[in-house]
Structure 1
Amino acid sequence: MSTPLAIEPLRFDPTFEHIADDEVDTIERLVEALQQIQQTTANDYHHAVRSVHAKTHGLLDGELTVLDDLPAPLAQGVFATARTYRVVMRLSTNPGDVLDDSVSTPRGLAVKIADVEGARLPGSESHTSQDFVMINAPMFTAPTPKAFASNLALLAKTTDRAPGGKKALSSVLRGVEKVVEALGGESGKLKSLGGHPETHILGETFYTAVPVLYGPYFAKLSIVPVSPELTALTNAPLDTNGHPNALRDAVSTFFATQGAEWEVRVQLATDIERMPVEDASVRWPEEESPYVAVARIRAAPQPAWSEARSKAIDDGMVFSPWHGIAAHRPIGGVMRSRKPAYEISAAFRGQFNGCPIHG
């Protein structure tokens, strides 16, 4: 018998979403910035990569097992019944150009859950997956699509320029970020520009950062390392000096000899004022609604990266929060802006590379 939740989740109301009068124009600017990034890198590499999170550090197969006897508010969508799904996991960093790992930026994790049942989201009717796209921060760096578009416009201007300068800047920004954190703070802006600590990517906790529907409720999700081999890597330093693919090499070395286990956790919203839908930069207070485990992901020892696997997944797959079921519809302006951005980016990759996107 399931244990009752200690919180009272808030049911989602459509009035929680507010579409700005100029949101269409804002999304057009956002898409233009992403297209500029993608066209620049495609011309340079003679191969199209993603407009954000271009560099892959690990490509993993695993299994997601939904926990037994979840309380009713948690037993929703993918997590409605205890069963096991196949998953593909893609570890990355956020720039749209493929940089030396000594340019230390925030990390991402995209998860594709296979053979999910349920009414599909518009545009994903031909798919059967539920995708969750995550970053290693509990909130987004930009509050709104307009701020998101401004950040991307800045990135577009610096894409694939002066890689040596980016390394030097990253070193400076890491030092500044250390000072900020020593004083009890943290700067998403500094991290996004190259000030992320040089740590092992497998020790990270990843978050959707922005909300999705969770059946009749709404929530943020996280994926948290729980096996001892993974938790030992949380904040573990990683030397990237002279090692342009240090993160990828570290992931490959790990999975060559051992497996890993993560928990999937859900933070249900309880207060629309303190847990807003339209301000993606707000960290929802965990003292009011803690993240609660709903599933486990296990990955066995395996080759974590290869050219052939990169071609199959990096070139042949899309990971989009809009590939999924209606029970987990993305909500809020940042999520709305992602739909056309991901669709256009995937179409460009498929056309430029002559490789159909199939998943």
Structure 2
Amino acid sequence: MDNSNKAEHQQAMANRKYIHWQDEGVEKIPPNEAEDIQAVADMINGMQKAQYNMHRHCYTGTHARTQGIVKGMLIVKEDLPKHLKQSVFAHAGEYPVVCRYSSEPGDPGLDDRIPQPRGFAMKVFNVPGEMFDSTKTTQDIEFNSTPALDLADAKTTKEIIDLRINYGGNQPELYKRLEARPDTDLQKFRDSVRNTHLESTRQYSQTAYRFGDYVAKYCLVPVSATQKKLYEETVKPDADPSDILHQWLQNFHGEHDAEYLLRFQLCENLHDQPVEYAGKVWDPEKYPWQTVAALVIPKQDSFNYELKSFWEDHMRLDPWLGLKTLQPLGSPNRLRKVVYPASSKLRRMMNGRQEVNVSSMDQIPGPAPPQMGSGNIEPLKVN
């Protein structure tokens, strides 16, 4: 795209009519949602206790398998148009981050050869602005490798987790019950996701968030040539070892810098882009993704045992721990506001650990990452 076309495109995007986060209809709390949310919290705690009985260690209810943890920098663009200068992205800057790659299910021993959604999460440091918790100075951001969330609202979450608890060990019976549902394709999709390199997988917020004045979803896009090339490789059913994704990730980060673009998709039509129901993908052709920042991760060891233990036993990552201008929206996020603290509380109690209020990268174990450009890829140009 030449400069004139780029300017025209940016102006066209700036002139679109975006939904304000306080507009009528953005959030509609259904009756009995609080009861459904509490039921989910209880079921998640039950799943955690079941895993404890097998491993004698309590893990988070989902994303239990750590695949790697890395340190990097979130770089906010200097030339953002006004409609993208929202929340933490209102001013250009560089923010230290620590990021975790994970497998979504609650079983920490899940075989990497089994296709399932993968997760990515980052804690952003030195963030200015008014927080939901005045004792915090970090912004937590979480992603999933599927653009739509099968646990699309509180009611659906309660129903699906109940099915997984009762029939998760019997896939034919589980599928029989899923196929009786109107959202069967959404529910079965998780078992057929592309099983490829974690550092090469695009990640999505799935749910909607306040984006300063507006409403948006966000995604993280791998952009280096090496990451794009590795995406073509998939895990074979007979692959060895069973933790191959962890091995691939460690090999990549040990040899290469990683580069991602953070993009936001603004809400323009609540019918096409529902906030309360996260099971529908917002059409990227009608509602384009727009780049606001870059994430750069210099080459490093992605599996530091001390850092893994610290994250799992002492850190808490929660999208409600952050800026009010990035408020989580919709039913799945109201559920997280209850379920995440309940999961964390049980985990600390059963493991005999204390949650640490991490406010500085200096509190994060492991060596500081080297400077960008030390690998085989040139540092990312944010444009």
Flag the 1:35–1:235 CA change in 2: closer, same or farther, 3 A: farther
Q: CA RMSD in A?
A: 2.1
Which residue among 285, 294, 297 is the counterpart of 1:296?
294
Flag the 1:83–1:5 CA change in 2: closer, same or farther, 3 A: farther
SS of equivalent residue, structure 1 residue 232 = helix
Q: Is the 8 A contact 1:5 1:71 kept in 2?
A: no
Give the C-alpha shift of residue 157 in structure 1. 3.4
- The reply to whether residue 308 of structure 1 matches residue 312 of structure 2 is no
Which residue among 6, 11, 15 is the counterpart of 1:4?
11
Q: Is the 8 A contact 2:209 2:329 kept in 1?
A: yes
Equivalent residue, structure 2, for 1:181 = none
Q: Is the 8 A contact 1:48 1:352 kept in 2?
A: yes
Equivalent residue, structure 2, for 1:33 = 43
Give the C-alpha shift of residue 334 in structure 1. 0.8
Q: Distance in 2 between matches of 1:190 and 1:291?
A: 26
What letter corresponds to residue 46 of structure 2 in structure 1?
Q
Flag the 1:252–1:33 CA change in 2: closer, same or farther, 3 A: same
Q: Distance in 1 between matches of 2:162 and 2:71?
A: 34
Q: Distance in 2 between matches of 1:221 and 1:76?
A: 13
SS of equivalent residue, structure 1 residue 252 = helix
Q: Distance in 1 between matches of 2:106 and 2:100?
A: 15
Q: Distance in 2 between matches of 1:205 and 1:187?
A: 21
Per-residue CA deviations over 1:231-278 (Å, capped at 9, x if unaligned) read 112242124633221111110011111111000000011111211111
* Number of residue pairs the alignment of both structures matches: 335
The runs of 4+ residues in structure 1 deviating greater than 4 Å are none
Q: Is the 8 A contact 1:141 1:188 kept in 2?
A: yes
% identical aligned pairs: 27
Equivalent residue, structure 1, for 2:70 = 60
Which residue among 159, 163, 173 is the counterpart of 1:150?
159
Pairwise mapping of residues 90-169 of structure 1 onto structure 2 (< 5 A)?
90-98=100-108, 99-121=110-132, 124-157=133-166
SS of equivalent residue, structure 1 residue 314 = helix
Equivalent residue, structure 2, for 1:354 = 352
Q: Distance in 2 between matches of 1:87 and 1:136?
A: 20
Per-residue CA deviations over 1:31-77 (Å, capped at 9, x if unaligned) read 11111111111122111111001001111101000001211111111
Give the C-alpha shift of residue 187 in structure 1. 4.3
Give the C-alpha shift of residue 337 in structure 1. 0.4
Greater Cα shift, 44-53 or 1-10: 1-10
Q: Distance in 1 between matches of 2:271 and 2:192?
A: 31
Equivalent residue, structure 2, for 1:244 = 242
What letter corresponds to residue 330 of structure 1 in structure 2?
P
Which residue among 56, 69, 77 is the counterpart of 1:46?
56
Give the C-alpha shift of residue 327 in structure 1. 0.3
Per-residue CA deviations over 1:189-245 (Å, capped at 9, x if unaligned) read 2343x3333322222111101100001100000000011111112242124633221
SS of equivalent residue, structure 2 residue 45 = helix
SS of equivalent residue, structure 1 residue 100 = coil
Give the C-alpha shift of residue 100 in structure 1. 1.4
Per-residue CA deviations over 1:137-180 (Å, capped at 9, x if unaligned) read 22211332110121222233367x6xxx88xx8xxx9xxxxxxx
Q: Is the 8 A contact 2:76 2:93 kept in 1?
A: yes
Q: Distance in 1 between matches of 2:100 and 2:223?
A: 18
Greater Cα shift, 349-358 or 290-299: 349-358
Q: Is the 8 A contact 1:239 1:246 kept in 2?
A: no
- The reply to whether residue 234 of structure 1 matches residue 245 of structure 2 is no
What letter corresponds to residue 203 of structure 1 in structure 2?
S
Q: Is the 8 A contact 1:203 1:236 kept in 2?
A: no
Give the C-alpha shift of residue 126 in structure 1. 2.2
Q: Distance in 1 between matches of 2:243 and 2:298?
A: 22
**Under a length normalisation based on structure 1, what TM-score does the superposition of the two structures give?**
0.88
What letter corresponds to residue 20 of structure 1 in structure 2?
P
Equivalent residue, structure 2, for 1:71 = 81
Q: Distance in 1 between matches of 2:206 and 2:162?
A: 21
Q: Distance in 2 between matches of 1:298 and 1:327?
A: 24
In structure 2, the gaps of 5 or more residues are 176-183, 359-383
What letter corresponds to residue 95 of structure 1 in structure 2?
P
Q: Is the 8 A contact 2:72 2:98 kept in 1?
A: yes
Greater Cα shift, 239-248 or 106-115: 239-248
Flag the 1:14–1:336 CA change in 2: closer, same or farther, 3 A: farther
In structure 1, the gaps of 5 or more residues are 174-185
Give the C-alpha shift of residue 307 in structure 1. 2.0
Which residue among 338, 341, 354 is the counterpart of 2:339?
341
- The reply to whether residue 217 of structure 1 matches residue 201 of structure 2 is no
Q: Is the 8 A contact 2:113 2:235 kept in 1?
A: no
Pair member with larger Rg: 2
SS of equivalent residue, structure 2 residue 66 = strand
Equivalent residue, structure 2, for 1:255 = 253
Q: Is the 8 A contact 2:26 2:275 kept in 1?
A: yes
Q: Distance in 1 between matches of 2:268 and 2:224?
A: 30
Per-residue CA deviations over 1:111-147 (Å, capped at 9, x if unaligned) read 11112111112xx332211111111122211332110
Q: Is the 8 A contact 2:313 2:355 kept in 1?
A: yes
Greater Cα shift, 264-273 or 280-289: 280-289
